Amino acid sequence: MTDSLLRRAQHSLAPLQRRDLAQALEWCAEDPVSNCVLAMHLETARDSGIIPPYLWAVKRRGIRGLPGMNRESVGIIWNGANLTAVIPEAADAGAFSTDDVRAEVAAAMVGRLNRPAALVGSAELMLDLWGRVEPWWGPAREVRDRQLSMALASGPKHVASDGSGLELAAVRPATMVDYDLLLPASVHMFVGEVGYDPMHHGRAAYEDRLRALVRGGRVFVQFGTLEGSRQVLFKADVGAVGCNVAQVQGVWVNPAVRGRGLSKAGMAAVVESVRATIAPTVSLYVNDFNAPAVAGYRAVGFEEVGTFATVMF
């Protein structure tokens, strides 16, 4: 990356334009599960006609004497709360290698973008970019370098839970009536997964997003009675929808009833509902060291389709 900072770069970042959308969506469609989040933002921009300031195109400078080498998009970056990207393999190997492009993209990221809360996406690309920007954006709070990207594009396997002794309601989309009970469950999940309390750091943004997901019918919840009180026993969010893929996030089971199969049964119900009403393919990503969760998702029918990585700051 140092070399790329000392010479005139042939690739730079520029705010995404409407003319870039079609190509960017084609790139996302080449791997819709990996690129679901980025595709969601691109589709929203396309449908609304409003390009948010967090979408960036990787642009190649025009080079005299090389036919077809005009200024054009060769990649796309979303830099909101998290950063994710699609940078296809360099097509013009004689002029630029993939390494050249990524080195210059990394230099442009350092020069033009604010450091996000995390880098998230395809492990090969995210870890490569992280290695290049680490001297400027590091240190990372945590690097999860192997997360299984899993997907299911058919009906789920139905797995029974051990609900004996529990008064269980059916899994259903949450409503705003559920919000006061849903919020502490969501926060508990976030603290365990991300490592800090969103109610102390960015509470307004966290609650705004949770409310938006609830109002959009994209939080699924199962209530039950514990010690005489109605509580959330299982929840899962559809955090992103793009390229006909729904990405499930925030899966959580009440600690008091873990080990009884509620997650498996709950996820089966979520998959069935999501495929019927939101998107035909359901995806998620999970830390490879979380063996119980991986086994549970496989029991429902999810299969590994790739590898993600998350670098958290």
The answer to which of 67-81, 142-156, 220-234, 256-270 has the lowest mean pLDDT is 67-81
Residue 274 in tokens: 């999501």
Confidence of residue 121 (pLDDT cuts 50, 70, 90): very high
pLDDT of residue 94: 53
Domains detected in the chain: 2-139 (3.40.630), 151-307 (3.40.630.30)
Cβ 252 vs Cβ 217: under 8 Å: no
Confidence of residue 155 (pLDDT cuts 50, 70, 90): very high
Confidence of residue 95 (pLDDT cuts 50, 70, 90): low
Rounded to an integer, what is the distance from CA 255 to the centroid of its chain?
25
Give the global pTM: 0.91
Whether residue 70 is predicted with pLDDT greater than 70 in this model: the reply is: no
Q: For 27-39, how does the pLDDT look when each residue is reduced to its tens digit (9 = 90+)? A: 999 999 999 999 9
Among all chains, which residue has been given the structure tokens 């599960």? 33
Whether residue 215 is predicted with pLDDT greater than 80 in this model: the reply is: yes
Rounded mean pLDDT of 209-213? 98
Rounded to an integer, what is the distance from CA 47 to the centroid of its chain?
20
Whether residue 100 is predicted with pLDDT greater than 80 in this model: the reply is: yes
Rounded mean pLDDT of 165-176? 94
pLDDT of residue 91: 56
pLDDT of residue 162: 84
Cα 265–Cα 305–Cα 206 angle in degrees, nearest 5: 60
Mapped onto helix, strand or coil, the DSSP state of residue 68 is coil
pLDDT of residue 68: 46
Whether residue 2 is predicted with pLDDT greater than 50 in this model: the reply is: no
User: For residue 162, which amino acid is it?
Assistant: D
Nearest residue to 251 via CA among 170, 309, 173, 193: 193
pLDDT of residue 4: 44
Tell me the average pLDDT of the chain.
92
Rounded mean pLDDT of 95-118? 93
Q: For 269-297, how does the pLDDT look when each residue is reduced to its tens digit (9 = 90+)? A: 999 999 999 999 999 999 999 999 999 99
Rounded mean pLDDT of 222-244? 96
